[in-house]
């Protein structure tokens, strides 16, 4: 039987207000990437996520970012590797201190893309994860894209899992259509559900020009703040199960 992870970025409260229906999303997904205060989230949201995870059997991942709440972590930040390591370590500690059992770490936004190609930033990310792994006495995985992060994780002896995005449009080179450009978001439930099944079967993803991009993914991501995220998640879960594909966390 095929199996795939379904993750969502959640706990992304801004000024105490949620940006997603976390309760509904936790009922559908297998892994939740929780904001740790860098771009969004706060202590109350982290505690609520830890409690929901325990109640629903969903795996918790940390979703740290550049320290950029004003830009929701989606802007490049001029930061040294040492500063990046320090802020990431603080964010991981905050989520762990809120009672969450962290199974994986998935960088957010601009950091996700930068660390995927910049060896220095990738090393800072992996160093923070490796230190948490040492304290926990178990390996904590990285969930991301990008060879720089994959190589840094391998050097540190940490598991690395690649993901694909269900609600973002792809360019022919396998990168995402930048946010803010027309067509960057994919929000039709039938399209997103069909994409999930194809990706779970290893059949790649259709780019905006109609070509098929070969994408190998262990986890499929839906953004919690995408319009109709709950509807999309339910459609994806139903389609995967109808295709005989189990939805389960790999960590």
The 10s digit of each residue's pLDDT in 184-195 is 999 999 999 999
Tally Cβ neighbours within 10 Å of residue 43.
12
Identify the CATH number of the domain in which residue 192 sits. Answer: 3.20.20.370
All residue ranges of the chain with pLDDT < 50 are: none
- The CA distance from 227 to 25, in Å, is 13
Q: For the chain, how many residues are written?
A: 251
Determine the 3-state secondary structure of 134 from DSSP.
helix
Say if CB 183 and CB 177 are below 8 A apart.
Answer: yes
**Which residues make beta-bridge pairs with 31?**
7, 59
The rounded distance, in Å, linking the Cα atoms of 22 and 6 is: 14
Which letter does DSSP use for residue 192 in this model?
A: H
**Predicted TM-score (pTM) of this structure:** 0.96
- The predicted pLDDT at position 180 comes to 87
d(CA 208, CA 214): 14
pLDDT digits over 117-128, tens only?
A: 999 999 999 999
> Which one-letter DSSP state was computed for residue 66?
-
Identify the bridge partners of residue 59 per DSSP, sorted by sequence position: 31
pLDDT of residue 227: 85
**Structure confidence at residue 1 (pLDDT):** 59
Helices (H) and strands (E) in the chain, counts: 8, 10
**What's the CA gap between 215 and 230, in Å, rounded?**
24
**Secondary structure of the chain: what % helix, strand, coil (to 5)?**
40, 20, 40
| Domains identified in the chain, total number | 1
Tokens of 59: 């795996």
Asked if 60 and 102 count as a contact pair (C-beta separation under 8 A), the reply is yes
- Domain of residue 53, residue span: 3-247
Which pLDDT does position 136 carry in this prediction? 97
């Amino acid at each position: 039987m095929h199996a795939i992870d379904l993750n969502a970025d959640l706990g992304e409260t801004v000024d105490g207000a949620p940006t997603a229906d976390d309760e509904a999303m936790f009922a559908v997904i297998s892994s939740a990437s929780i904001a740790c205060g860098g771009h969004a989230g706060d202590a109350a949201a982290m505690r609520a996520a830890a409690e929901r995870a325990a109640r629903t059997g969903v795996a918790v991942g940390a979703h740290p970012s550049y320290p950029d709440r004003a830009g929701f972590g989606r802007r490049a930040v001029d930061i040294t590797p040492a500063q990046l390591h320090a802020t990431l370590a603080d964010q991981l500690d905050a989520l762990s201190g809120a009672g969450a059992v962290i199974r994986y770490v998935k960088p957010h936004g601009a950091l996700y893309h930068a660390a995927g190609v910049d060896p220095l930033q990738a090393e800072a990310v992996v160093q923070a994860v490796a230190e948490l792994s040492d304290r926990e006495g178990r390996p904590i995985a990285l969930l991301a894209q990008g060879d720089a992060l994959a190589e840094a994780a391998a050097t540190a002896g940490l598991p690395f899992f690649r993901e694909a995005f269900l609600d973002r449009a792809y360019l022919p080179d396998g990168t995402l259509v930048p946010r803010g450009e027309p067509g960057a978001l994919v929000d039709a439930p039938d399209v997103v559900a069909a994409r999930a099944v194809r990706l779970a079967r290893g059949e790649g993803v259709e780019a905006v020009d109609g070509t098929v991009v070969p994408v190998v993914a262990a986890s499929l991501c839906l953004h919690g703040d995408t319009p109709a995220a709950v509807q999309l998640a339910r459609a994806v879960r139903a389609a995967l199960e109808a295709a005989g594909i189990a939805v389960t966390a790999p960590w």
